[in-house]
Amino acid sequence: MVNAGAHRVAIFVYDGVTLLDVAGPAEVFKEANRFGADYRIVLLSPAGADVTSNLGVRIAVDGAVSSEPAFDTLLVAGSDLYPRARVPADLADAARIPAAVAGRVASICTGAFVLAAAGVLDGKRATTHWQVAHELAARYPTCRVEPDAIYVRDGTTYTSAGVTAGIDLALALVEDDHGPDLARDVARALVVYMQRAGGQSQFSAPLQGPPPRSPALRKITDLVTANPRGDHSLGELAKHLNVSTRHLTRLFHDELSTTPARYVENIRFDMARALLDQGHTATQAATLAGFPSYESMRRVFARKLSTSPAAYQRRFSTARRANAG
């Protein structure tokens, strides 16, 4: 099924824009045209001037975003600049009106900061790159940030995670417009997943966080980190400090916002991921990381990443393939 008539897509760009945020979704729409869609893509900047990407590549634009009529889809690309600094008022203003009148509006990666600064994400669910999701939530508290999502749809507003998640989002938009068969053809042509299993957590770095303030709790966390395979039951950990289990539980809650058991589990999980990345089997990883069994590790992976240890390893242990030269 292909919708009749052209679908006008505007990609909003500006100085410092991440080039892949622009090229990835544009390639999806262009490829969709090969299978019968009719996406008309234009690149627009705040004032109509050409812009320079994060890689120093000059991007020629088709005009100013304010000079164009309403688009069926407005995509706001991201930049490394604005998680580190406030979005300039003129940039937010340039995005506000076209976002309000577009049939649907979407952000790629940190483009969510531009949409949020423009007020588009007020009261809405949204996501962005896992490294800066906490900053988006802190800076725009009325936005309900979902840090593990690949992309989020809230009505006609879409936000996506890190740069390549813009491809996932664009495929979802193509599927909305033309159905799963055409979107699947595009995914196959681009050699990408139609829909990735799991969320952003599978791509994130281990959650080490800041060290505890108190020397006593630091002693316990160092002990667990140094030897995840040890007996780290609540009672044994409390014995190391000669404190009650209740007191130790309160220390973990007050300083790390977690429980001793969950902290131990997280350390073991991080070690298991590293072991899988190094090529160990799932059973070996479970044993070396200190999990009581493979099954207990599998349950943790399912809860945290929505995938199995074996599936995680296939995706992330190596970029090489057996038939590569």
Catalytic residues: 109
What residues contact residue 287 under an 8 Å CB cut-off, 6+ apart?
Answer: 229
Q: Are 136 and 116 in contact, with CB atoms under 8 Å apart? A: yes
Torsion sign, CA atoms 23, 24, 28, 34 = positive
- Tell the burial category of 84 from Cβ atoms under 10 Å away from its Cβ (0-12, 13-18, 19+): exposed
Cα angle for residues 266, 271, 272 (degrees, 5° grid)? 95
Structure token pair of residue 177: 């417009």
Identify the bridge partners of residue 52 per DSSP, sorted by sequence position. 58
DSSP H/E element including 73: strand 73-76
Tell me the C-alpha distance between 82 and 12, whole Å. 15
Cα–Cα distance, 197 to 203 (Å, whole number): 12
Count of Cβ atoms closer than 10 Å to residue 242 Cβ: 7
Tokens standing for 119?
Answer: 């007020």
